[in-house]
């Protein structure tokens, strides 16, 4: 499972303490996320969407974990049996997502322009830290499977390991041809991994 313990198992012995390892892990997690254009760890998001007369709407963030709240101008809050989520698609059980817009005035509902669907949902990958937070908040995590992609996990762990081994310096700054070749090869393979996840 992606997290501090997984990193420690991957890199082996190190003089760095857990807080520093977690700091490096978080830094590379954010860096990889910025390179592919999305946050990787599970987090909550809010979206206002425009109904277009179709049965399906698409949530922006992936992978979607769950929907916390869904409401429309026309119907108010929708209950779970009134919609079905498949990946990042949300299907209305009865009818379609209306395309018309109703003016709400000074309502608390967060609608604007032509957007008439408001969704609060959680999306991202389950990590060691996320599972601990969910469990601390009373969520039964026994049925949850780790879903962090193994190729991204390896990329991040290897990046942290290289950072530690080289004191934070770029390997390409070294004049030894073998090391430079290894760095270039690794960078190309990492780039291929990143391309698969880019939006």
The pTM (predicted TM-score) of the whole model is 0.75
Looking at the structure, tell me whether residues 47 and 32 fall in a common domain: no
Share of the chain above pLDDT 90, in %: 44
Residue ending a domain, among 91, 123, 155, is 123
132-152 residue pLDDT tens: 999 999 989 989 988 999 999
- Domain with 54, as residue range(s), is 43-123
**86 occurs within a structural domain:** yes
Distance of CA 138 to the CA centre of its chain: 22
CA-angle at 154, arms to 197 and 184, nearest 5°? 85
Number of domains in the chain: 2
In the sheet that holds 43-49, the strands lie side by side as 43-49, 117-123, 64-72, 76-77
Q: Which residues contact 64 (CB under 8 A, 6 or more apart)?
A: 85, 87, 88, 121, 122, 123
**129 occurs within a structural domain:** no
Looking at the structure, tell me whether residues 49 and 18 fall in a common domain: no
Taking residues 68-82, report their average pLDDT: 83
**142 occurs within a structural domain:** no
């Amino acid at each position: 499972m992606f997290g501090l313990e997984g990193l420690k198992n991957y890199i082996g012995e190190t003089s760095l303490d857990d807080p520093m390892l977690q700091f490096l892990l978080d830094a590379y997690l954010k860096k990889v996320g910025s390179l592919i254009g999305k946050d990787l760890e599970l987090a909550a998001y809010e979206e206002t969407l425009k109904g277009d007369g179709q049965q399906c709407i698409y949530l922006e963030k992936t992978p979607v974990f769950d929907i916390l709240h869904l409401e429309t101008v026309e119907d108010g809050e929708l209950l779970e049996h009134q919609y079905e989520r498949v990946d990042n698609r949300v299907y209305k059980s009865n009818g379609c997502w209306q395309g018309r817009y109703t003016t709400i005035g000074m309502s608390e509902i967060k609608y604007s322009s032509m957007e008439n669907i408001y969704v609060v949902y959680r999306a991202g990958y389950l990590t060691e830290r996320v599972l601990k937070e969910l469990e601390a908040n009373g969520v039964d995590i026994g049925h949850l499977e780790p879903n962090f992609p193994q190729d991204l996990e390896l990329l991040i762990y290897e990046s942290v390991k290289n950072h530690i081994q080289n004191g934070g310096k770029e390997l390409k700054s070294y004049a030894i041809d073998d090391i430079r070749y290894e760095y270039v090869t690794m960078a190309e393979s990492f780039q291929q991994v990143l391309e698969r996840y880019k939006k």
